[in-house]
Structure 1
Amino acid sequence: MSDVAAYPVIAPARIPLQAPPAAARSPAIARASQKDGQRCTACSMRSICMPQGLTPREMQRIESFICPSRTIRQGETIYRANDSFQSIYAVRAGSFKTVVMHRDGREQVTGFHLAGDSLGLDGVCFGHHSCDAIAIEDSNVCIIPFHLLEAMCREVKAVQQHLHRIMGGEIVRESSQMMLLGTMSAEQRVATFLLNLSDRLRMRGYSPAEFHLRMTREEIGSYLGIKLETVSRMLSKFQRDGLVDIHGKDIRILDHERLVSV
């Protein structure tokens, strides 16, 4: 992996996720909190991040222990490596990157998380988080205390099965990442990244052919294990070959089949 570039350490501020007591909030803050805490049944991401087939009573119970959603500004963290594991987070809007720091201070991006994805399950194994979760744009998350979720898993099979599917998806994602880094050329890595992002956006009801990259080319390179210059060179090649049309961070896939065959 001699193509991996060294990047400066990013150390954004972490914000507290505990809401202030109701008595200490101004009316404006209270109204904003109520708006943020709209019911899961009204959320556009419900079909992705919530179990299917719950009874109204079971849905009400889940909603009762999900903390009001919180806004995370670009560059702020939800949690950092070695923080105590307490909750998992459902991305309601926006996007995040998860990163680990090498001993020499380089940042390694390990994943990009979109609306509907979950964050924080890395803390289940040892009781603390193994990476930083950083917003790459202004985002919104719902906070789910894990001990309450575990208790409901013991009583409601659909919730247990859904949590198992999420954990299984994390295993598949990590194994796919290992294959991408271990067996694919730089050209294949960039093509696979674009196709994967396209498919994830399609599942969320967005256009799979036209989208805006929220992450930088440096972050893409870190995730794919290649240099910034290599990412830019591959994207330029795809454009010359008529596979994509690129304007800054705006991507339009012109020939999906040929991109798959790269």
Structure 2
Amino acid sequence: MAYFERVDESTYRATSQVGGAWDTATQHIAPALGLLAHVVERDRDARRTDGLLIGRLSYDILGTLPVDVVEVAVRVVRPGRTVELVEATLSHNGRDAVLLRAWLMQPGDTARLAGTAFPAITPVDDMPEWDPTTVWPGGFIASAEVRREQTEPGRAAFWVRTPIRLIAGEEVSGLARAASLFDIANGMTVRAEPKTVAFPNIDLTAHLFDVPEGDWLGFDTTVSFGPAGIGLTSSTLHDHRGPVGTLTQILTLRPS
């Protein structure tokens, strides 16, 4: 089972596993974000051998996608020996739906400097299981295994993993696999019932100071709603070793 099946070099078919949470007839955007990260890494590896690391993934979500065939494209916006900016797009029937800009950066040995003041979260084995389908429909949410400690609505730590492959029969990196889970953050500790308030995100930006490892991805998440129709979901990302980066999603608030 997989979220996508490759059709050819630049075309993929979404499966029923990507069914969305706001509308089950459209894609949950999370797997598509992982697909674009994979596309950027494949393009990098085809062009160069020095293993630039992705330090930032910044996505703009331009519209919804049906559960159908999608096309991808990638170009280098700013080439460089040690730093480059790469842009990738995901489209359906000629209409762009997601735009990714990724900064790729030269790796180096900075182990002696490594450290962060971001606090740890409860280890995955000590966190209680939680069923996200009690809040959300759709194939993607149903495919996710979640463990969660919620402090209050809009504030929680949680771990997420999925047994579903990103692309059928194709190996992907730990980063691409993690990126396919990033967008779940906005729905794991809701401030308001989705039946009374819609709060989809129109972007997602991840800054990473380490590459996520392992099957489980951890989130320390706060959801904020402003008084004028805009919200923000902000997370610290974790793997089994500790914090590895941050994640933000801007929300459009739509009370029913």
TM-score between both structures, scaled by the size of structure 2: 0.23
Could you say which structure has the larger radius of gyration?
1
Question: Higher helix share goes to which structure?
Answer: 1
TM-score between both structures, scaled by the size of structure 1: 0.22
Question: Higher strand share goes to which structure?
Answer: 2
